[in-house]
Amino acid sequence: MLYAPSFYAIMHRRWLVNKTNPEYITYLSKTASVSPVLAQIFMNRGIKTPVEISSFLNPHISQLSDPFDIQGVKIAVDRILTAKTSGEKVLVHGDYDVDGLSATAIILKALKMLGIDSHYFIPNRMEHGYGFNLSSVRKAKQTGAALIITVDCGITSFEAAALCKKEGIDVIITDHHEPIRSQNENPPSPPFGKGGIAALKIPSPSRGEGKGGGDRIQEFLLPDALVIVNPKISNHKSSISDLSGAGVAFKLAQALATVHNPQFAIHDFLDLAALGTMADVVPLTGENRLIAKEGLRLIEDGIRPGLRALKKVSGIEGKVLKPGLLSFTIIPRINAAGRVSDSNDVIKLLLTDSEDEALDISSWLDKLNLERQQIEEDVYQAAIYKLNSKGVSPVIVLSSEGWHQGVIGIVASRIAEAFYRPTFIISIEGNIARGSARSIPSVDIYKALTGCKEFLAGFGGHKQAAGLKLESKNILSFEECINRIVSETLTEKDFIPSLEIDAVVDFSDINFNLTKELGMLEPFGFGNAEPLLGAKRLEVLYPKIVKDNHLKMKLRQDNQSIDAIGFDMAVFFDKLEASTTIDAVFTPFINEWEGARSLQLNLKALRPSL
């Protein structure tokens, strides 16, 4: 997601303000020694005691949880150490996205540090499809591996695990995706086979309740592996239940470090774990916050040649890094390989000690990313053209021959965001069509798909993203069905995006100390959004358009005025008259200009005062 809000989203938004008991805010502010505004923000985010606030404000890797708390880690560690003592070869099976590649690099590096002869297999999106599959088992046989460790996948790989068993190859599955629940009436057992649907990999947010013991494993349909390490099986609703694939791999590396080798420094893995964590858009709270915060610092310091080179080709060398910045610099470049080419060289990039090799691979990724952008833009423009001719319905379904599989998910996401409608982008190849869907918060797209399964050959995913496969001749019937189902359950206001405001403030609350406090909540991202503040009845002074598209002005409340900038908000200029008052939503920040520091408001939304 880029910073620029779409025109559509700016113009039609419901403003929601969180309300809390003011007495508790005063109490919390005093006991936790934070401003009332910050206390309100914490309350909104479910952080409700001084102890919780203190640990959130001071994340440190010493707070990392014991990796052996995750079910299966002990067995996995023992098996890996057996591979070391008996000189067995090990194959790491990964995935072609940033999370899967980071996870692969983490485990490979850990195995190499133990002196284990290790190899890897990254499936190719076009050739093998997503997930641990039979070609990976073949590769293990070729290399003579006695043990396969999957990362960021495998939790639904029944077939491949069964084949391994038959071939006498042990499998350790490490994953973070949702396991299939056994009471599920339709177990989506390997639904699409070869060339499956990439978008299916995103975990479903539906969770089991309570903390699992060994007996709870019975509730899931799991592949027959030696052991499965997945916090979704045993650590529901804990600080580690939302780890990314790289996060789970990191916990295994952390466990190996604690039992085996003192020269194992968990610092050697944290930058990669952070990369997967940010790329997979898991909530940046709990253990993920510790990983992201520390890992970002390591990426900033440039400890790894591969990431240093990627920063260089992305033009962000020496910059202060935030998840939002990485999401349109390093992350898409790494993902480009899996989208339009092959990701195997990315592992070399992440593990190399050679500056030259790092720069070579990074430049290649940079080119692939340009190629990906061009392909994406072509598909996007073609999709918008189709949309213009057919009009916007409650669910947008667009299809065509020749739309590249590697970009349909991104295009669906862009259109869903721009038009605030669940969006399906479907690529037709002869009789068969494959599509990718992205939804809006009010629509559970997985559930809606279930209602249309008579038209589908297969589907999977979760509330906000899904993949599907169908016969081309059924596209129209499917489109009618999904529109009917969604229209039946939603009202008009569900199609208006909302803007959640953390606190309504007076200008007298906004000062340097507050911006400093807000900075301590970083890194911002999914699950830990940048706080939005609101203020009412503001006078607009000296509005002007700068650099074509941005809006600059002063806002005044009582006797205090503050500079404000609205990126990509020039569209509001005509609506601003110096005499009318407006309400504004913003994040305050410190603007440094020629050595001087001043408060400034980064505007997110404006409306005339009611």
Please, which residue, 177 or 421, has the CB nearer to Mn ion?
A: 177
Please, which residue, 44 or 335, has the CB nearer to Mn ion?
A: 335
Please, which residue, 200 or 349, has the CB nearer to Mn ion?
A: 200
Per CB under 5 A, does 280 bind Mn ion? yes
Choose one: 92-100, 128-136, 326-334, 531-539; the region binding Mn ion (CB under 5 A). Answer: 92-100
CB of 176 to Mn ion, least distance (A): 6
- Write the CB contacts of 428 (distance below 8 Å, at least 6 apart in sequence): 399, 400, 401, 402, 403, 472, 475
d(CA 29, CA 172): 47
Could you tell me whether strands 432-438 and 465-471 are parallel, antiparallel, or unpaired per DSSP bridges? antiparallel
CB of 335 to Mn ion, least distance (A): 12
CB of 174 to Mn ion, least distance (A): 11
Bridge partners for 458 per DSSP: 469
Whole-number CA gyration radius for the chain? 25
Q: Which of residues 174-193 bind Mn ion (CB under 5 A)?
A: none
Q: How many Cβ atoms are within 10 Å of 389's Cβ, its own excluded? A: 7
Per CB under 5 A, does 170 bind Mn ion? no
Tokens 């503040």 map to which residue? 533
Bridge partners for 90 per DSSP: 118, 147
Q: How many Cβ atoms are within 10 Å of 566's Cβ, its own excluded? A: 27
Cβ atoms of 208 and 219 closer than 8 Å:
yes
Per CB under 5 A, does 271 bind Mn ion? no
Choose one: 51-59, 245-253, 324-332, 552-560; the region binding Mn ion (CB under 5 A). Answer: 245-253
The angle at the Cα of 83, spanning 77 to 86, to the nearest 5 degrees, equals 140
Binding footprint of Mn ion, residue count (CB under 5 A): 4
CB of 152 to Mn ion, least distance (A): 4
d(CA 188, CA 238): 27
Buried b (16+ CB within 10 A) or exposed e, 299-314: bbeeebbbbbbbbbbb
Please, which residue, 335 or 600, has the CB nearer to Mn ion?
A: 335
Please, which residue, 338 or 497, has the CB nearer to Mn ion?
A: 338
Site map 102..141 versus Mn ion, x via CB under 5 A? ----------------------------------------
Q: How many Cβ atoms are within 10 Å of 488's Cβ, its own excluded? A: 10
CB of 228 to Mn ion, least distance (A): 15
CB of 342 to Mn ion, least distance (A): 19
Choose one: 9-17, 242-250, 337-345, 393-401; the region binding Mn ion (CB under 5 A). Answer: 242-250
CB of 413 to Mn ion, least distance (A): 16
Per CB under 5 A, does 245 bind Mn ion? yes
Choose one: 240-248, 303-311, 460-468, 574-582; the region binding Mn ion (CB under 5 A). Answer: 240-248
Per CB under 5 A, does 99 bind Mn ion? yes
Strands (DSSP E) found in 527-580:
533-546, 550-557, 560-566
CB of 280 to Mn ion, least distance (A): 4
Cβ atoms of 463 and 449 closer than 8 Å:
no
- Write the CB contacts of 185 (distance below 8 Å, at least 6 apart in sequence): none
Please, which residue, 94 or 588, has the CB nearer to Mn ion?
A: 94
Return residues touching Mn ion (CB under 5 A).
99, 152, 245, 280
